[in-house]
Amino acid sequence: MAKGKVTPEIIEELKKIVGEKFVYTDKDKLDPYSHDEVTDPHYMKEAQVVVLPATTEEVSKVVKLCYDNDIVMVPRAAGTGLAAGAVAIFGGVIISIERMNKILEIDKDNMVCVTEPGVTTTNLQNAVKDEGLFYGGDPCSGDSCFIGGNVATNAGGNRAVKYGVTRDQVMGIEVVTPTGEVVMLGGKFRKNATGYSLMHLYIGAEGTLGIITKIILKLVALPKYQMDLLAVFDNLDDAIALTPKVMSAGISPVCVEFMDNASIKQVEIFLGETLQHSDVGNYIIIQIAGDSEDLLDEQCEKIDELARENNALDVLVANPAVIWKSRKAYLEADRARSLVFSMEDIVVPMTDIPQAVQQISRLADKYKVAMHCAGHCGDGNVHIDILKDDRTQEEWEEMLPQIQKEIYTLVYQLNGHLSGEHGIGYKRAALMAEYMDPVELKLMKAVKKAIDPKNIMNPGKVVSINEEVPVE
């Protein structure tokens, strides 16, 4: 893939656009941008330069400069991704939106929030909560991830059962195209039948079609009451089978999460705290919310009844601080045990989760490897951490593709897909090319080629439209 080089002259032009202070070329400043949360060294590459624009105009000028000189661009938010989607695998310029960190407007009349992309999800949630409103998006990395990254990857998270994924929260986006042009797609309205829905092409495109510089998000009224329930089972199949029973009972939970026993024990070690029923328990965490305490009490009683009918060991009202700290520590707990591991992010029909998890557990025994499962059983999304532990890198690289092949063969037999919320990035691009319907893949490549014919906007991520070779 022959592309333009980042010359000293190009670097000087970049400094003129954003200021010398916000153009990084020194190794110590480039290093933090050489990876995301994927810790496998195979997915770590250093960019030639990192640029930090502060406005849409500056982003546009940087992109136009790169486009005119055929220079690869890699849009980057907080770097909390799990698919090497914001890593400069092919060199070039990383364009970080971290300085674009202002909430521009909370419009209570239209129930929307207008924000720059570099605002953390938690800060945005807190800001609208102070106004008596509620933002439904809730990825587990909310304290650190940026809302722009959430949109670029169509992040899911815990509340997708009731509120949907990030795509369902977005009403409009401002985008800088690969040529440097600026366009506003959507707006402060909830209906739009005006031609193709271009906005939705960019949501989840992982920066391969342009850079999102402004976002309009849907808000709802802040629920008055909230309750978190913990149901504990000694049988994971019984645990996960509770989910459809709850949802078919007329209850609309905010989220339904699960953790297998191996995950619970690992989190217990990581936090240095004793968790309930950690000896044999598998967790189902159910959050309900609404404007009536009486209704929540009725739902709580019904969930308790359904869980015990499904052989629950215990059902209790959970301390939200404790239970969500435990659930959200899942990833960090596994990283503390094994710095190199592979988090798979499968999605299958909700009713097929027990079969998927059961067969995946057999793979752990077959390959004699630690595999922990947790995720969002209310929407069919299962996270599988495959831990390298004390294997050599060579043994790991030989084993991992074999396990992935068995996992994804099963997933597609169950009419699922290989990523529910973490995205494709560079890490899963080859897997997607192998398992996706070839017609669907051809359509995606046609979109990429039409919008980015030079293939310089985050190339090699999601889909490839020509031969691409990573830089050494």
pLDDT digits (tens, 9 = 90+) for 216-228: 999 999 999 999 9
Report, as an integer, the average pLDDT of 110-124.
98
Residue 73 is part of a domain; what is its CATH number? 3.30.43.10
Decide if 464 is inside a domain: no
Residue 411 has pLDDT above 50, yes or no: yes
Which of 187, 206, 221 is where one domain is finished? 221
Instruction: Tell me the per-residue pLDDT of 278-328, one tens digit each, with 9 for 90 and over.
Output: 999 999 999 999 999 999 999 999 999 999 999 999 999 999 999 999 999
Distance CA 51, CA 72 (A): 13
Please indicate, yes or no, whether residues 111 and 63 belong to a single structural domain of this protein.
no
Which of 98, 123, 144 is where one domain is finished? 98
Please indicate, yes or no, whether residues 286 and 397 belong to a single structural domain of this protein.
yes
Distance CA 126, CA 106 (A): 12
pLDDT at 432: 93
pLDDT at 468: 59
Residue 183 is part of a domain; what is its CATH number? 3.30.465.10
Report, as an integer, the average pLDDT of 422-431.
95
Report, as an integer, the average pLDDT of 420-443.
95
Q: What are phi and psi for residue 462, nearest 5 degrees?
A: 65, -75
pLDDT at 71: 97
Please indicate, yes or no, whether residues 233 and 381 belong to a single structural domain of this protein.
yes
pLDDT at 307: 98
Q: How many domains does the chain have?
A: 3
pLDDT at 467: 63
Please indicate, yes or no, whether residues 214 and 231 belong to a single structural domain of this protein.
no
The pairing of beta strand 255-259 with beta strand 211-218: unpaired
Q: Which residues contact 109 (CB under 8 A, 6 or more apart)?
A: none
Please indicate, yes or no, whether residues 90 and 107 belong to a single structural domain of this protein.
no
Q: Average pLDDT over the chain, rounded to whole?
A: 95
| 273 C-beta neighbours (distance < 10 Å), count | 13
Please indicate, yes or no, whether residues 76 and 119 belong to a single structural domain of this protein.
no
Distance CA 472, CA 467 (A): 16
Please indicate, yes or no, whether residues 131 and 229 belong to a single structural domain of this protein.
no
Report, as an integer, the average pLDDT of 77-87.
97
Please indicate, yes or no, whether residues 217 and 249 belong to a single structural domain of this protein.
no
Please indicate, yes or no, whether residues 246 and 330 belong to a single structural domain of this protein.
yes
Decide if 387 is inside a domain: yes
Residue 265 has pLDDT above 90, yes or no: yes
Decide if 456 is inside a domain: no
Residue 472 has pLDDT above 50, yes or no: no
Please indicate, yes or no, whether residues 387 and 241 belong to a single structural domain of this protein.
yes
Please indicate, yes or no, whether residues 296 and 195 belong to a single structural domain of this protein.
no
pLDDT at 258: 95
Residue 240 is part of a domain; what is its CATH number? 3.40.462.40
Decide if 429 is inside a domain: no
Residue 172 has pLDDT above 60, yes or no: yes
Distance CA 103, CA 361 (A): 44
pLDDT at 44: 95
User: If we measure between CA atoms, which residue out of 347, 322, 320, 464 comes closest to residue 410?
Assistant: 347
Write out the residue range of the structural domain in which residue 153 sits: 103-221
Residue 469 has pLDDT above 80, yes or no: no
| 8 C-beta neighbours (distance < 10 Å), count | 8
Strand spans (E) along 68-224 = 73-76, 93-96, 103-107, 112-115, 133-134, 170-176, 182-186, 211-218, 220-221
Which of 67, 98, 129 is where one domain is finished? 98
Decide if 437 is inside a domain: no
Decide if 1 is inside a domain: no
The pairing of beta strand 93-96 with beta strand 133-134: unpaired
Please indicate, yes or no, whether residues 48 and 157 belong to a single structural domain of this protein.
no
Residue 444 has pLDDT above 60, yes or no: yes
Element (H, E) at 225: strand 225-233
CA angle 192–255–36, rounded 5-degree value: 80
User: If we measure between CA atoms, which residue out of 84, 88, 85, 83 comes closest to residue 51?
Assistant: 88
Decide if 341 is inside a domain: yes
Residue 1 has pLDDT above 80, yes or no: no
Decide if 3 is inside a domain: no
Read off the pTM.
0.94
Report, as an integer, the average pLDDT of 322-350.
94
